[in-house]
A = this chain, B = another copy of it.
Amino acid sequence: MPQPLKLHPDRLFSSDLEIRAIARRLYAQVATLPIVSPHGHTDPEWWATDAPFGNATELLLHPDHYIFRMLYSQGVSLEDLGIGNPDADPRESWRLFASRYHLFRGTPSRMWLDWVFSQSFELDVLLSAETSDHYYDRITEALTTDAFRPRALFERYNIEVIATTESPLDDLRHHQAIRDSGWKGRVITAYRPDPVVDPEFEGFHHNLEILSDMTGEDCFSWPGYLAAHRKRRAFFAAMGATSTDHGHPTARTANLAPVEAEALFGRVAGGQASPEDAELFRAQMLTEMAGMSLEDGLVMQIHPGAFRNHNKQLFDKFGRDKGADIPTRTDYVQALRPLLGKYGNEARLSIILFTLDESVYARELAPLAGHYPCLKLGPAWWFHDSPEGMRRFRENVTETAGFYNTVGFNDDTRAFLSIPARHDVARRVDCNFLARLVAEHRMEEWEAADLAVDLAYNLVKAAYRL
């Protein structure tokens, strides 16, 4: 007999009767608020073409590195999951996943997936070896219906706005197609210049050539390169972007004299950059980008601290984003000082900081954001986008930075179907956190009710200028 699958209405709320009662009341206010998703990695082509998704494996397993990294850690090969292997039978790959579903106990993936299975596909038994084919068939069949086409899901999920992330080299054709289609869904882009800012990015030199062609600027000269950024930022803003995003290895910034910056760029563009040059150039570019944000109003997001592609064998065989990025210790206090020394007191500038190093929440990020007018703190990110991760974020950050130097929730995902589940987890965890403060008489319930709506909806709209 398969086990039943049912989502409990009190999930993620404390079992303490007082806290739970308050959490329920707070959550009732925010459960159905529209989803504002200001940062993520969904594919705009989905909404441009509105083509149906393929099968269960393609939709749910292949884009979700949280899933296949766990399976890989327990000895399942990526080839057998169909990663980089078009010959794999998707039904067999799904079975490998289904029969190991117990590995996900206690992980957020389990909660997100159960939500998708239950709420989107109306499955009422738990995923297992026994129910694998039932799942595969039900999901794959549903995907052939109009109700599961991308735009229909977008509307069903009550998404008010979603941001994708594109490189300056992207022509944004899909975003243009969405606009041209007359469909009302609000899908915007975000400016992620890493491929033309990071000298160590694959194809950096060639990327500068493309950028030159796209902009008519000489991107091998410092003024031309900066002008090209300004042009592309303006184009992105015209296509709805309200933010930029920077995924550097560290949070280092620099504030070089113009002549030094130009000389550094010369080495970088000429292909003679040392690793230290590359790091310094990325650092300088964060400050340049902050300056441009002051000009054009784009909100700046800094996402540092991932050691990308830690597993070289895997990278050589399968490429990026295969679950082998690992967080590293990250300094912000020294690292951000050059940028903050130049622009830190500008209240018109908005920089949202993220981290994968939770030890900096209370020690560095909350004190910085609780002082500098330009700084705000992004939510618990990536590996920390989880109930315990979010709880630690609130417990560590709130007492020094308050709630109003934070910016609501980001789902940051390419797993489209999990987006409502992720927002739901965040709303529940925040309501539960607020409920504890109320139950411990550290806040009045009417204040918590205000905050619940702010954390779920108002703060993100204000912070991202949406």
Contact = CB atoms under 8 A, between A and B. Distances in A.
27 contacts: A3-B444, A12-B442, A15-B16, A15-B436, A69-B370, A69-B371, A72-B371, A73-B369, A73-B375, A75-B373, A103-B404, A105-B443, A107-B402, A307-B333, A307-B334, A311-B340, A313-B345, A326-B364, A329-B363, A356-B363, A357-B359, A357-B363, A362-B389, A383-B399, A386-B399, A387-B399, A388-B396
A25 interface: no
A19 B16 CA distance: 9
Contacts of A372: 73, 311
A324 interface: yes
B333 A327 contact: yes
A405 B15 contact: no
A373 B19 contact: no
A184 interface: no
Given A12-B440, A310-B333, 11 more contacts: A15-B436, A16-B16, A69-B371, A73-B371, A73-B373, A102-B450, A311-B341, A314-B345, A326-B333, A328-B364, A366-B383
Contacts of A106: 398-399, 402-403, 437, 442-443
Nearest to A305: B363
A74 interface: yes
A465 to B, nearest CB: 15
A443 B323 CA distance: 25
Contact of A14 (B12, B327, B440): B440
A11 B444 CA distance: 11
A104 interface: yes
A448 to B, nearest CB: 9
Task: Indicate how many identical chains form the complex.
Answer: 3
A113 to B, nearest CB: 13
A384 B362 contact: yes
A324 B358 CA distance: 21
A105 B451 contact: yes
5 pairs of A and B residues whose beta carbons are closest in the complex: A8-B441, A15-B439, A11-B441, A386-B399, A15-B18
Interface residues of A, number: 91
A149 B364 CA distance: 38
A147 interface: no
Interface in A87-123: 102-108, 111
A199 interface: no
Contacts of A399: 106-108, 383, 386-389
Contacts of A102: 404, 447, 450
B404 A15 contact: no
A236 interface: no
A409 interface: no
A367 interface: yes
Given A327-B363, A441-B11, A402 B307 contact: no
Q: Which one of A314, A347, A362, A403 has the highest number of Cβ atoms from chain B below 10 Å of its Cβ?
A: A362
A267 interface: no
Nearest to A398: B106
A252 to B, nearest CB: 15
A70 interface: yes
A364 B384 CA distance: 12
Contact of A370 (B70, B329, B386, B446): B70
A247 B299 CA distance: 37
Contacts of A357: 359, 363
Contacts of A173: none
A395 interface: yes
A402 B105 contact: yes
B333 A371 contact: no
Nearest to A327: B363
A207 interface: no
Contacts of A340: 310-311
A440 B15 contact: yes
A158 interface: no
Interface in A14-50: 14-16, 18-19
